[in-house]
């Protein structure tokens, strides 16, 4: 807590110091807010493939489900959840790339975990209620902070400053005992220069899957100082999650007869009865402290300084049967003349980490030229350790003994410069140069008590360039190239992978915009070297295992549109068609190596389509039909029939009705969401594994294949009432 206190003191000292200046200029809140993300976002006409989502679009469906689920209807996006209903652990893939390969930033600060490179949205429950806007860039995109984007990047801007004071109370109730309660407020701008806003949230759910419960708490607090040329924000947010584990999935037979079955926590008691441990949970807390200082000096020059400290800590708890003493440093014991060297036990595997960031940018803009140059530094220090909190038998153990301990330290320095230049009314060019230096060191043991000694340094140069041409006021054509390099993550090193991956991304796009119709079409070719693809298998904590595949590529077309059919009827369709191939894929089968030629990359459907149909029959009522189709996909890279995940087509209905100036309140908003309205029994995620069996037929080796599945909820609902003061 000492670190937290020092950091908070620094934040508020800076705010107070600047507040002493005499201020006479007009407030320009919106422009200064946008500076927070300008360095990593692109404009609407930039030669970068992207989608923008604003606060109003998020609010319509923000009834308690997590951010990936709210983004489900964007192009090339596939989402899934462990508990089956959008609360708890949720995941997103874009163009077949999982969340560990999608760069996520919040106000320009990386959110991806530095070691695992994953994004754990469950650590920030109800964060969607504090988002002003976000931009999804598909492909390499523009230079950003943190690990490179190998499928997409998502940059999030938190609440803008509210000029007027307000209060909100929202309560959600729904299927599986799902409830969300939150309180939001803003002081509005006080004394012409200060604003404070905040949020408290609580979300609970039993989950669709058995015992896949979630108990989530979160907070958000933002203080701001503004004048015409200065914006200083202190942003503090975090959450605590307790979720019953549901990451094991089920096999095909169980899927047919009991699709909500959860094997987590299963054990056999002394009488031979099947039991489930009641505390097989994940328990984690994460707190973020940010300071942002935006300064505009004149019409040409502006700067941004960002500081961040993130503190994460927590564990997951498991009941394990028949564990060997040697695996926990227990000493054999003798009872009644019998040597005991195995035991049932309960263990906790801990993470305890600190993440520091300094981020600075300078922007020069004059007429046709817009240049941003910046530098980024981060330092991560993470401990990994395990404790046995109960054992039926144990020898020579003491309370709080750690049966393994490991540490990882990661440093990163990034410098970049990007510029856009309008040659004339038709032509514009874009250039982006980034140098990224990464150092990663580990010590100690893995959770399997295997030494992990890594000392790697990487130097990545990531150039990007683009050109766009406007035929007329309605039509624009663009072409872009981007290069990305990415270091392995901790689990890759544990599996012996040390080679970084490389991507060359080519995008050719056409945009059409008129008063009632907007259409974006783009062709992409993503050429990978040493791509780390998911094997389909998962480890003992449900995390996907990756392997390096040499040459591979993704080739496709994406089309999305926004069409106003009438003044009160809008259509927002999108479709992505792609071919995702490993080139000359070699695998082990039946005791030997075999070249399968080109195979499909795992978890990469060839077709993903979505549609949003919005109808507003009267001023205060919106009726929305949301549809999503995800084509057949393989869960492995060997095109095995066993690894096929069937296609699915789901539909949701969203209703929003508002009542204005009712009694003593400004507005009451009633929202309803019926998910999977046609009651489809579908599976959006799974795993695939192989192993060699040399016991069935002595003298021969046979490769055995298997698969597991994560079923999603059938028809379910959420209703919410929001009272705005």
What is the rounded distance in angstroms from the CA atom of residue 258 to the CA atom of residue 12? 55
* pLDDT greater at residue 218 or residue 36: 218
pLDDT digits (tens, 9 = 90+) for 535-590: 888 887 778 888 889 899 999 999 999 999 999 999 999 999 999 999 999 888 88
Q: Measure the CA–CA gap between 362 and 374, rounded to whole angstroms.
A: 6
Percent of the chain at pLDDT > 70 equals 94
Burial class (CB in 10 A: 0-12, 13-18, 19+), 95: buried
State the residue for tokens 């309180």: 183
Residue 150 banded pLDDT, cuts 50, 70, 90? confident
Give the residue numbers spanning the domain of 199.
2-724
The reported pLDDT for the residue numbered 29 is 54
Beta strands in 162-300 (DSSP E): 166-174, 178-186, 194-205, 214-226, 230-244, 266-268, 274-276, 281-296
Q: Select from 688, 499, 635 the least CA-distant residue to 96.
A: 635
Q: Which two tokens stand for residue 537?
A: 């298998």
Q: What share of the chain is helix, strand, coil (3-state, %, to 5)?
A: 10, 60, 30
Give the pLDDT score at 12.
39
Nearest by Cα to 142 from 405, 370, 426, 315: 370
Concatenating the DSSP letter of every residue in 473-510 gives: SSEEEEEEEEEEEE---HHHHHTT----EEEEEEEEEE
How far does CA 668 lie from the centroid of its chain? 31
Alpha helix positions (H), 20-154: 29-38, 55-61, 67-70
Least confident range of 2-11, 334-343, 384-393, 678-687: 2-11
52 and 140 in contact (C-beta within 8 Å)?
A: no
Whether the pLDDT of residue 5 is over 50: the answer is no
Q: What is the spatial distance between Cα 558 and Cα 191, in angstroms, rounded to a whole number?
A: 49
d(CA 342, CA 182): 48
State the DSSP code for 330.
P
Per-residue confidence (pLDDT) for residue 521, from 0 to 100: 97
Residue 217 is predicted with a pLDDT of: 97
Residue 416: both structure tokens together: 């970049």
Q: Report long-range pairs for 252-258 (Cβ below 8 Å, ≥24 apart).
A: 252/707, 252/709, 255/683, 255/709, 255/711
Whether residue 189 is predicted with pLDDT greater than 50 in this model: the reply is yes
Backbone angles phi, psi at 488, to 5 degrees: -65, 165
Does pLDDT of 1 surpass 60? no
- Residue 80's φ and ψ, nearest 5 degrees, are -155, 160
Q: Which residues pair with 299 in a beta bridge?
A: none
Q: Residue 8 pLDDT more than 80?
A: no
Instruction: Render pLDDT for 230-276 as a digit per residue (tens, 0 to 9).
Output: 999 999 999 999 999 999 999 999 999 999 999 999 999 989 999 99
Structure tokens at 588: 């082990």
What the block records as the tokens of 276 is 């489930």
Please name every residue paired with 503 in a beta bridge, in sequence order, or none if there are none.
484, 528
Range list of H helices, 126-280: 252-257
Q: Global pTM?
A: 0.92
Task: Return the closest-CA partner of residue 147 out of 493, 352, 414.
Answer: 414
Structure-model confidence comparison of residues 11 and 278, the more confident one:
278
Q: How many domains does the chain have?
A: 1
H or E element in which residue 5 lies? helix 2-19
Q: What pLDDT is attached to residue 629?
A: 98
Phi, psi of 270 (to 5 degrees): -65, -25
Query: Do residues 582 and 601 lie in contact, with contact meaning Cβ atoms separated by under 8 Å?
Result: yes
Supply 436's token pair.
Answer: 């990224």
Position of tokens 């069409």? Answer: 563
pLDDT tens track for 521-546: 999 999 999 998 988 888 877 788 88
Residues 83 and 212 sit within 8 Å (Cβ to Cβ): yes
Q: How far is CA 681 from CA 66, 653, 710, 712, 714, in A?
A: 21, 17, 11, 7, 6
**Which pLDDT does position 698 carry in this prediction?**
63
Report residue 17's pLDDT band, with 50, 70 and 90 as the boundaries. very low
Mean pLDDT computed over 457-480:
96
Whichever domain contains 272, its CATH number is 2.40.170.20
- Interstrand relation of 230-244 and 281-296 (parallel, antiparallel or unpaired): antiparallel
pLDDT at 373: 95
Give the separation between CA 340 and CA 225, rounded to whole angstroms: 66
Statement: residue 477 has pLDDT above 50? yes
Whole-number average pLDDT of the chain = 91
Cα 643 to Cα 533: distance, rounded to the nearest angstrom: 15
CB contact at 8 A, 333 and 340: yes
What tens digit of pLDDT does each residue of 281-312 get? 999 999 999 999 999 999 899 999 999 999 99
Mean pLDDT, to the nearest integer, of 179-193? Answer: 95
Average confidence (pLDDT) over 419-432: 95
């Amino acid at each position: 807590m000492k670190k937290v206190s020092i950091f908070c003191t620094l934040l508020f000292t800076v705010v107070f110091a600047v507040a002493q200046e005499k201020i006479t200029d007009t407030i320009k809140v919106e422009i200064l807010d946008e500076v927070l993300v300008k360095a990593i976002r692109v404009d609407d006409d930039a030669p970068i493939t992207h989608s923008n989502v604003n606060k109003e679009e998020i609010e319509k469906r923000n009834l308690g489900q997590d951010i990936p689920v709210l983004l489900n209807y964007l192009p090339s996006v596939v989402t899934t959840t462990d508990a089956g209903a959008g609360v708890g652990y949720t995941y997103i893939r874009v163009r077949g790339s999982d969340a560990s390969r999608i760069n996520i930033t919040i106000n320009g600060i990386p959110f991806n975990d530095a070691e695992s490179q994953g994004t754990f949205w469950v650590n920030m429950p109800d964060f969607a209620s504090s988002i002003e806007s976000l931009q999804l860039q598909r492909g390499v995109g523009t230079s950003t902070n943190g690990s490179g984007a190998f499928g997409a990047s998502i940059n999030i801007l938190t609440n803008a400053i509210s000029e007027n004071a307000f209060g909100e109370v929202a309560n959600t109730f729904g299927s599986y005992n799902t409830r969300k309660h939150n309180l939001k407020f803003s002081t509005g701008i006080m004394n012409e220069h200060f604003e404070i806003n905040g949020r408290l949230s609580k979300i609970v759910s039993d989950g669709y899957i058995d015992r896949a419960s979630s108990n989530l708490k979160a907070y958000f607090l933002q203080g701001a100082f503004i004048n015409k040329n200065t914006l200083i924000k202190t942003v503090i947010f975090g959450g605590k999650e307790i979720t019953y584990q549901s990451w094991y999935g089920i096999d095909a037979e169980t899927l047919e007869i009991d699709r909500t079955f959860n094997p987590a926590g299963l054990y056999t008691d002394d009488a031979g009865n099947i039991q489930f441990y009641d505390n097989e949970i994940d328990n984690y807390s994460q707190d973020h402290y940010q300071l942002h200082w935006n300064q505009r000096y004149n019409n040409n020059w502006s700067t941004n300084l960002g500081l961040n400290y993130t503190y994460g800590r927590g564990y997951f708890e498991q009941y394990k049967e028949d564990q060997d003493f040697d695996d926990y440093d227990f000493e054999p014991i003798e009872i009644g003349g019998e040597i005991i060297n195995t035991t049932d036990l309960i263990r906790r595997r801990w993470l305890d980490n600190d993440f520091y960031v300094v981020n600075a940018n300078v922007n020069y803009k004059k007429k046709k030229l817009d240049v941003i140059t910046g530098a980024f530094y981060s330092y991560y220090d993470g401990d990994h350790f395990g404790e046995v909190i109960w054992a039926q038998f144990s020898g020579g153990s003491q309370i709080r003994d750690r049966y393994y301990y490991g540490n990882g330290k990661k440093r990163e320095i990034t410098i970049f410069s990007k510029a856009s230049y309008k040659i004339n009314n038709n032509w514009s060019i874009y250039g982006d140069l980034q140098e990224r230096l990464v150092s990663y060191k580990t010590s100690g043991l893995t959770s399997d008590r295997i030494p992990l000694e890594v000392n790697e340094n990487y130097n990545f140069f990531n150039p990007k360039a683009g050109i766009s041409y406007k035929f007329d006021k309605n039509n624009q054509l663009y072409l872009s190239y981007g290069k990305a390099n990415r270091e392995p993550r901790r689990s890759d090193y544990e599996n012996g992978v040390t080679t970084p991956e490389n991507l060359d991304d080519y995008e050719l796009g056409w945009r059409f915009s008129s008063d009632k119709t907007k259409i974006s079409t783009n062709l992409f070719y993503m050429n990978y070297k040493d791509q780390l693809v998911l094997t389909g298998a998962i480890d003992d904590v449900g995390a996907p295992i990756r392997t390096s595949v040499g040459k591979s590529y993704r080739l496709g077309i994406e089309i999305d549109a926004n069409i106003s059919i009438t003044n009160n009827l809008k259509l927002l369709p999108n479709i992505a068609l792609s071919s995702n191939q490993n080139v000359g894929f070699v695998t082990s089968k039946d005791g030997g190596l075999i070249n399968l030629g080109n195979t499909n990359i795992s978890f990469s459907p060839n077709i993903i389509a979505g549609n949003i149909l919005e109808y507003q029959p009267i001023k205060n009522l919106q009726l929305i039909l949301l549809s999503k189709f995800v084509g057949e996909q393989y869960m492995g890279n060997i095109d095995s029939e066993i690894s096929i995940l069937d296609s699915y087509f789901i539909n949701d209905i969203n209703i929003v009705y508002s009542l204005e100036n009712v009694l003593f309140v400004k507005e009451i908003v009633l929202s309803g969401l019926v998910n999977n309205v046609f009651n489809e029994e579908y599976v959006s995620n799974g795993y695939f594994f192989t192993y060699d069996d040399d016991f069935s037929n002595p003298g021969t080796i046979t490769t055995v294949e298997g698969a597991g599945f994560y079923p999603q909820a059938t028809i379910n609902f959420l209703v919410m009432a929001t009272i705005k003061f």
